[in-house]
Structure 1
Amino acid sequence: MDANKDKYHAVRYEHFGHVDVLQIVDLPKLTANKGEVLIRVKTAGINPGEAAIREGMLAQQFPSTFPSGQGTDFAGVIENVGADVTAFKPGDEVIGFSNNRNSQAEYVVVKADQLVARPPKVSWEEAGGLFVAGTTAYAAVRAVALKPGETVIVSGAAGGVGSLIVQIAKKNGAKVIGIASEPNHRWLKKHGVIPVSYDGNIEENLKIALNGSKADAFIDTSGKGYVELAIKMGIPVDRINTIIDFAAVGKYKIKAEGSSAASSAQVLGELVQMVNNGDLEIPVAKTYPLSQVKDAYTELEKRHTHGKIVLIP
């Protein structure tokens, strides 16, 4: 889009519902006010939590006003900066996050302290899908307080968040057992993770992987009764973290730390440096143009992608 035009394209929906409520609309051109930065979005990640919010499943935790936009993750090029912004200038390539559910668009405005510079070895696709999955993984690993040599089991270990959790846990010196479908086992092994299939008797499969030892912690990214399994295996409740099974949180008093627990430019900066240094791989499952946002979320909601799905405005 020509930056001089008066309109830009953005994802919007008028009421709760499935992907069919999503529209691409024209909105008035944005301006950066004091302390803010206007970014031309190059890539924007999509996340399961956004789908849950759109369907009204999290209306109490995350109230909506309509029309609503979507999206937190993004990466792009700075168009202009507001007064008092000294850390960035037009033309800078940045990675950031929005707190206003509006990053799935051609342009976004955020405060300067919600941005970090994009280093050369971080691709646009990785950059645009990093914040939500990355901070969720960072918080989840921190929540179970892993020590070097301890064993952690991760469900959904090859998904958008799980694939980052297993890498961060390995970087912390833990032994990692990852539950994932058979086609993703090769990737897990490549990253030093012991793969376990969820087909058949999952409890027996985990016992074989543990080889007589005991798991110290469990991180659940997929729900489906894994919290109950972790408790049955004797893992202490203060070392179980879920990012999805909120009913289990109230019932068993386990942890539920996710993106909001690590939602800062400081943590984003740490993650970006890990990617740039080759210490963290951000698997990108697929990219879609912004105009195909419905297709992108349809694919996401199948819950079988390895890594992130990213929109390209």
Structure 2
Amino acid sequence: MAQHYDTIILGAGPGGMTAATYASRANLSVLMIDRGIYGGQMNNTAEVENYPGFSSILGPDLAENMYKSSTQFGAEYAFGTVLHVEAQEDGSWHVVTDMDEYTSNTVIVATGSDYKKLAVPGEDTYAGRGVSYCAVCDGAFFRNQHVIVVGGGDSAVEEATYLAGLAEKVTVFHRRDKLRAQQILQDRAFANDKIEFVWNTEVEEILGDDKKVTGVRVRNNVTGEVYNVDAAGVFIYVGVLPVSQVVDGLGITNEQGWIETNERMETARPGMFALGDVRDKELRQITTAVGDAAIAGQNVFSYNEEFKLKQQKVTES
């Protein structure tokens, strides 16, 4: 028989781990499931400078600290890709992964978001061969070389600054005439003489030979000029998409795939909660995921209390 838990958390990023802390501390049996190592995108972040209590901390170190906290009250962790989530007749949930299957009284969806692609020729061809979405992971491969960053938000500017410590030169292509990143990040990047910004310009194709990236073809969206730029690597930061496919068909997402919740982190399905970057929300940060998780963890406890009471009444009758 499938092992049963009071709550199963899909995802072990900062939100999932915080929810596990709150739920297990309330004496609920908790299982976190993730397809990779705990921490999520924190593991791809060089430095976290806006998390309370730390002037600066490495992303993987923060992930490790959170994991220790999340499991100290008995929450369990399991590897696995979630394949199917289904509501059962008694109101509980059936969760199937590629490794095992489980049941639970409640489910918390904390699957986060993933990097959006440019969807241009060469992007898939050279993925892992010069095209990257993680400077921390791959930046060291491009020491003393010219690399390109595509995007104008926080991630693009932060990673450009990180890459400037490794590469000979970093060119940032942004389709608009100003950045969307926080001002402190902009100031830092503008002050770095190894970073060049090219405005109103979009990457139309990623170029390469039979082995690796050799450059990009870009177009100025004001003048229409098209030209090639040589580079050894292309780092893409043009937004994120929700990782919500596992709950498709449950009626809890909007047209873009983001999960909609109320302020209690409850979805439209009783017993299913959602938090963090997979939610339809304005700001996606570690701090906002943790805040969502505290609320979800508390309300999962309340829901479990009511659920168990109803189950007991059914049994007694």
TM-score by length of 2: 0.31
Structure 1 or 2, whichever has the larger Rg, is 2
